[in-house]
A = this chain, B = another copy of it.
Amino acid sequence: MDQRAFQDLYPDELSYCYGCGRLNEHGLQIKSYWDGDETIATFLPKPYHIAIPGYVYGGLVASLMDCHATGTAAAAAYRAAGREMGSEPALRFVTASLHVDYERPTPLGVPLEVRGRVTEIKGRKVVVRATVSAEGQVCARGEVVAVQMPEHMTPRK
């Protein structure tokens, strides 16, 4: 079983994303993996990822869901096609819409668990439901509609 993260299998030119690009030294470098039919990522926020003292910034929670979900979409699309992740041509997804419900404040200082589950996969579209939990409690739930990257969005030189 391949223990590399989804994001470590993106082609180099698509690996600069602030949220999950392994080549973005300033970024969050989120790493997502299969866990059965779900996907999982863990992330320890930095002390400065603060909202009000003691709690995690909501924009970070949204960012974690976003990148984990587009990674999940890519992994699911490869799996649905019976292809090995990372094989060419690359299947890479962007976010069409993002919805986050903040159910309780997310405590700062503990690892966050991000989970994803594909609820729809049709044509170029993959819908992913995600949660962000801390200390075993779900703090936020979200849904991301991811679409396969359009041709005109290939990297702008």
Which A residues lie at the B interface, using CB under 8 A?
Answer: 13-14, 16-19, 21, 24-27, 46, 48-55, 57-60, 62-63, 66-67, 92, 94-102, 105, 107, 149, 153-157
Task: Closest B residue to A65 by CB, please name it.
Answer: B59
- Whether B102 lies near A99 (C-beta < 8 A) is no
Assess the A13–B53 pair: CB atoms within 8 A.
yes
Question: Do B99 and A59 touch (CB < 8 A)?
Answer: no
Q: How far does the alpha carbon of A46 sit from the alpha carbon of B26 in the complex, in Å? A: 10
Copy total for this chain: 2
Q: Is the CB of A59 within 8 A of B51?
A: no
Which single residue of chain B is at the shortest CB-CB distance from A63?
Answer: B59
Across the interface, do B156 and A55 meet the contact criterion of CB distance under 8 Å?
yes
A52 and B18 contacting across the interface, CB-CB below 8 Å: no
**CA–CA, A24 and B27, complex, Å:** 17
Cβ–Cβ < 8 Å partners of A48 in chain B: 18, 24-27
Q: With A95-B102, A96-B102, A99-B97 known to touch, is A17 a contact of B50 (CB < 8 Å)?
A: yes
Closest to A48 in B: B26
* Chain B positions within 8 Å of A66 at CB level: 58-59, 62
Contacts of A17 in B (CB 8 A): 50-52, 57
Q: A58-B94, A59-B62 given; name 7 further pairs at CB < 8 Å.
A: A13-B52, A18-B48, A52-B149, A54-B156, A62-B63, A62-B100, A63-B63
Residue of B nearest to A149 (CB): B52
